[in-house]
Structure 1
Amino acid sequence: MATVKASAAVSHVGKIRSNNQDSGYAGRSLFLVADGMGGHAGGDVASAIATRRIAEADTDYFSALDASGALQEALISANQELAETVFEHAELTGMGTTVSAVALYGDQVVIAHIGDSRIYLMRAGELSQITTDHTFVQRLVDSGRITEEEAMVHPRRSVLMRVLGDVESSPEIDSMILDTREGDRWMICSDGLSGVASFSEIAEIMATDAGAKAAADKLVKASLDGGAPDNVTVVIVDIGEPPAPETPPVIVGSAAIPLAFGTPEPVRPRSILLAPFRLHPVQEAHFEPDSEDYYDELIEEDRRRATRRRVAWLVGSLLIVAGIVVACVLSYQWTQTRYFVGESNGRVAIFQGIQQDLGPLSLHEVYRETNIDVADLRTYDQMTVERTISATSLDEARAIIERLEASLD
């Protein structure tokens, strides 16, 4: 039977946020991460309420199936408690939270998941993402509309399609029962890690021989090194022998401090298409019900945005090209106001333009070729003509020619 060799939970507010809306729990056989949404209006409250309610499911069960049912029931109960809290505290309207939970039973793990927090498994040196994000961009990836790389920078990457909160009374929760074995390392994290650190970076840290706590600290540091624009929470569970000694559950983040329903911040105007949302360090993030109409509307909006970007790029490019052409024309016109005296076909000539060439483009031409042979000039005059003599005007060039003619006498 698989046992918990070691576990750890670490949470950090990040470098941008003023409060921690994440919560993490590492218990005896239950482990979870909750990422609250709703900004100061209740993101921390939502994740704390959900974590504390779901943590009550950290007990013994008769089977993995029994544990799975109890875990799903705990999430639904947490959802109901969130709705009741909003009913009693209207200022918390719109709050919600993601939840990703792992419960160990025998040689199996039970998983319950909703939102965009993630569960990873490191087995035999290979990292796998177990859960699927309930986000708009993940749907675009699944439908082949965009790539994983495009999803990382998509303007709608923080739009959640499913969360626990005061929106749906019976939200759809992903659940599964998987086998686990000695040597497995399970990791649960908020998008404060997965949205900053790359998959390969996470894999490298997860593959180290560092203990659960050290690995969790390194993952949090990776987010901080990447700017940590969001709260970051990591829970790690190592499976194997010897089993971890019986210790009190570890609770981190907002669930670790007393709940406080403060004065709400002023409500910001919202688009009519957008339901309650949570603030994001780079862009606004929000939750929308799992609605096909809304899904289609977002796709159409992205198409319009992409079209606007293409038009803006085209107009900008045309303006840049036009600016370059105008600059070139004006520069060429300026060169044609300059003159110099030089040699053409062995004779002294007046040239219009400047002595330099621009690649294959000549910036000068013969204005007038005189009857003075360069070979008839004095040695010094020959050398100066061959090197060219600059003139600021046509009259000055003519004066130079007159001087050279006079030197022949």
Structure 2
Amino acid sequence: MALVFRFAARSDVGKVRAKNDDSAYAGRYLAVVADGMGGHAGGNIASASTVLDLVHLDRKDYDDDAGTHLADEIQTANSLLSELVSTNPQLAGMGTTVTAMLLNGEKISFAHIGDSRAYRLKNDVFEQISVDHTFVQRLIEEGRLKPEEAEVHPHKNVLMRVLGDVDASPELDLTTFDAEPGERWLLCSDGLNAVLDDATVERIIRETRDLSACVNTLVDLTLAGGSPDNITIVVVDVDTATPEDLRTAALTALPPAREAAGEKDSDTSTDDATPGVAIRADVIREDLSSRPHTLVGSAALATETGQIPIVTQRSTERRAAMMLTHKAAPADTVEDDQTEEASAPRRRRWLLPAALALMALILAAVLSLGYVWTQTRYYVATFDNRVAIYNGVAQTLGPIPLSHVDQTTDIPVSSLPEFQRNRLENTLAASDLEHAQDIVEDLRQSLRALPCPPESNPSPSAGPSPTVSASPETASPEPSSSGSPTPEPSASASPASPGATAEASPSASASADAAPGEAASCGGRVQ
């Protein structure tokens, strides 16, 4: 039994916000809601980029697990957001929630991250399918907070998991459900839950059978309640497919994106967009025209008018190729099928060279930036048995050294204490050149502080060593018998030995003559 989605969607900027950071898409097999964050800079970009990265999944009859495709594409969308941030630093910190469902045969693959929500009405049971990835929800699960207290908690909007500039591989909630005709799903951003409670939402979902009327009622009630945030709603019914559903390629009328996205006073038009934007938007519009769908919020703004150029300019090759590869064709036109199959390999042929060229450019940029960073570093090590200052880091990239000698000092490594020599062998890292010079000065000071070893006794062949001190017998006068002191000077203290006095302290003389900043010589050895 072939199943499809009947759908309706609407997005509104609300009563307080200046722009719409929400995006949503609903089609025959795919429904997704994304609530962007990141303030003025990037919330709308994050949600629009993510939704437009997923729209090519809106097709039937996946050969294998459709949930794997959905999860992989959401992870890819996350990587592309990171690329956007790397090329546009002003977008740092942007992110988006994602709540999506993909119909394949009689199974619905469900993926969720963030605090947008999914509800289901099936077999007369209305329940919330998604789990909020918020700080207060974690407190509730741990039993530290009651559900009724969460609505007034000061940190109720703090998200623990999102897509975007926070995690290279975010954790998604992935589930697969059995699909049955008659069940109804509601996907919404948290702008709905900020105003309407679950009981009110359930009553409208149950009582309003017309999908458009159901969506409009929910949005209007939220606006009447003040709508402090953007509000985006997608409602889908699971239904049995008709032959017309399988053949149709007519475009479902889109809502006025500029007004829905809160750009009521903008004077920018498609003609004013950056060159290349119109081409990119045309590719998206061409793909969307092949299937019934509704696109709302910032994603519609980017697609219809090119008002978000950064979304329509980025990753042109990847998204255009994927959209055209999966482009739907009328079921009753065999020639079109054959043409599509023949053209797909030609389109894919240039994808590999383009991807390799992009990877080469990214690698070259990373290596270049890495080398520039290494040249801001310094360290102290040895060079030709001397203490030297190196510019760079003490590693090599293959055969390429990442450092060179910047300055060579006059400090001999062999004269340093052993522990200092060991430190130099392992290199002494410095944050900058001034720090490296301070390290050298510390080594020089430790060299000066080395004590000179005591002199060894001279050999007998060296001759008598003169002394200036008198012996006790000669220095003390003997009293005469008459009681008058008549000291006799010792011969060793006689003025006749001036040479002895001049030779008394050769080491002291050498120390006095040492030039400032040089190592003192002890016994002919440089310390």
Do these two structures clear the TM 0.5 threshold for a shared fold by scoring above it? yes
CA apart distance, 1:82: 0.3
The change in CA–CA distance for 1:4 and 1:213 in structure 2 (over 3 A counts) is farther
Specify the code of the residue in structure 2 equivalent to 1:148: P
Structure 2 contact 12–297 (Cα < 8 Å) conserved? yes
Q: 2:433 is matched with which residue? A: none
Higher share in strand: 1
Partner SS, residue 181 of structure 2: coil
CA apart distance, 1:190: 0.3
Specify the code of the residue in structure 2 equivalent to 1:191: D
Once the two structures are superposed, residues 33-72 of structure 1 have per-residue CA deviations (whole angstroms, 9 ceiling, x without a partner) of 0000011110000000000001122223435x62100000
Q: 1:114 is matched with which residue? A: 113
Specify the code of the residue in structure 1 equivalent to 2:42: G
Specify the code of the residue in structure 2 equivalent to 1:193: L
Q: 1:346 is matched with which residue? A: none
Structure 1 contact 2–181 (Cα < 8 Å) conserved? no
For 2:89 and 2:134, the matched residues in 1 are separated by 26
State yes or no: 1:19 paired with 2:63: no
For 2:175 and 2:32, the matched residues in 1 are separated by 15
For 2:124 and 2:12, the matched residues in 1 are separated by 27
Q: 1:212 is matched with which residue? A: 211
For 2:310 and 2:53, the matched residues in 1 are separated by 18
Specify the code of the residue in structure 1 equivalent to 2:8: A
CA apart distance, 1:214: 1.1
State yes or no: 1:255 paired with 2:299: yes
Question: Within 5 Å, which residues of 2 pair with 1:317-332?
Answer: none
CA apart distance, 1:3: 2.1
* Structure exhibiting the larger radius of gyration computed from Cα positions: 2
Once the two structures are superposed, residues 246-298 of structure 1 have per-residue CA deviations (whole angstroms, 9 ceiling, x without a partner) of 45321100000122459xxxxxxxxxxxxxxxxxxxxxxxxxxxxxxxxxxxx
Q: 1:395 is matched with which residue? A: none
Question: Within 5 Å, which residues of 2 pair with 1:367-406?
Answer: none
Specify the code of the residue in structure 2 equivalent to 1:24: A
Structure 2 contact 117–128 (Cα < 8 Å) conserved? yes
State yes or no: 1:38 paired with 2:82: no
Question: Within 5 Å, which residues of 2 pair with 1:224-263?
Answer: 224-241=223-240, 243=242, 245=245, 246=248, 247=250, 248-258=292-302, 259-260=308-309
CA apart distance, 1:2: 5.6
Partner SS, residue 15 of structure 1: coil
Q: 2:49 is matched with which residue? A: 49
Q: 1:69 is matched with which residue? A: 68
Partner SS, residue 235 of structure 1: strand
Q: 1:176 is matched with which residue? A: 175
CA apart distance, 1:241: 4.1
Partner SS, residue 177 of structure 1: strand
Q: 2:411 is matched with which residue? A: none
Specify the code of the residue in structure 2 equivalent to 1:255: A
For 1:29 and 1:197, the matched residues in 2 are separated by 28
The change in CA–CA distance for 1:142 and 1:218 in structure 2 (over 3 A counts) is same
Q: Which moved more, 1:50-59 or 1:240-249?
A: 240-249
CA apart distance, 1:132: 0.2
Once the two structures are superposed, residues 342-367 of structure 1 have per-residue CA deviations (whole angstroms, 9 ceiling, x without a partner) of xxxxxxxxxxxxxxxxxxxxxxxxxx
CA apart distance, 1:144: 1.2
* Higher RCO (CA-CA < 8 Å; seq separation 6+): 1
Structure 1 contact 119–130 (Cα < 8 Å) conserved? yes
Structure 1 contact 135–160 (Cα < 8 Å) conserved? yes
Once the two structures are superposed, residues 146-203 of structure 1 have per-residue CA deviations (whole angstroms, 9 ceiling, x without a partner) of 1111111111010001111011110001100011211100110000012221000000
Specify the code of the residue in structure 1 equivalent to 2:19: N
The change in CA–CA distance for 1:209 and 1:241 in structure 2 (over 3 A counts) is farther
CA apart distance, 1:80: 0.4
Question: Within 5 Å, which residues of 2 pair with 1:325-344?
Answer: none
Q: 1:357 is matched with which residue? A: none
Higher share in helix: 2
Specify the code of the residue in structure 2 equivalent to 1:32: V
Once the two structures are superposed, residues 58-115 of structure 1 have per-residue CA deviations (whole angstroms, 9 ceiling, x without a partner) of 223435x621000000100000010000111111111000000011112221001000
For 1:209 and 1:2, the matched residues in 2 are separated by 25
For 2:76 and 2:231, the matched residues in 1 are separated by 25
CA apart distance, 1:222: 2.1
For 1:148 and 1:4, the matched residues in 2 are separated by 35
TM-score by length of 2: 0.48
State yes or no: 1:126 paired with 2:170: no
For 2:62 and 2:56, the matched residues in 1 are separated by 16
- Stretches of structure 1 that go unaligned for 5 or more consecutive residues are 263-409
For 2:49 and 2:88, the matched residues in 1 are separated by 14
Q: 1:145 is matched with which residue? A: 144
Specify the code of the residue in structure 1 equivalent to 2:60: D
For 1:242 and 1:165, the matched residues in 2 are separated by 36
For 2:208 and 2:15, the matched residues in 1 are separated by 28
Partner SS, residue 240 of structure 1: strand
CA RMSD for the aligned pairs? 1.7
For 1:2 and 1:185, the matched residues in 2 are separated by 17
CA apart distance, 1:242: 6.2
Partner SS, residue 122 of structure 1: strand
Structure 1 contact 4–237 (Cα < 8 Å) conserved? no
Structure 1 contact 6–239 (Cα < 8 Å) conserved? yes
Specify the code of the residue in structure 1 equivalent to 2:295: I
Partner SS, residue 119 of structure 2: strand
For 2:62 and 2:102, the matched residues in 1 are separated by 13
Partner SS, residue 74 of structure 1: helix
Seq. identity, %: 46
Specify the code of the residue in structure 2 equivalent to 1:252: V
Q: How many residues align?
A: 261
CA apart distance, 1:126: 2.5
- Stretches of structure 2 that go unaligned for 5 or more consecutive residues are 251-291, 303-307, 312-527
| Greater than 6 Å deviation, 4+ residue runs | none
For 2:171 and 2:5, the matched residues in 1 are separated by 32
For 2:162 and 2:216, the matched residues in 1 are separated by 27
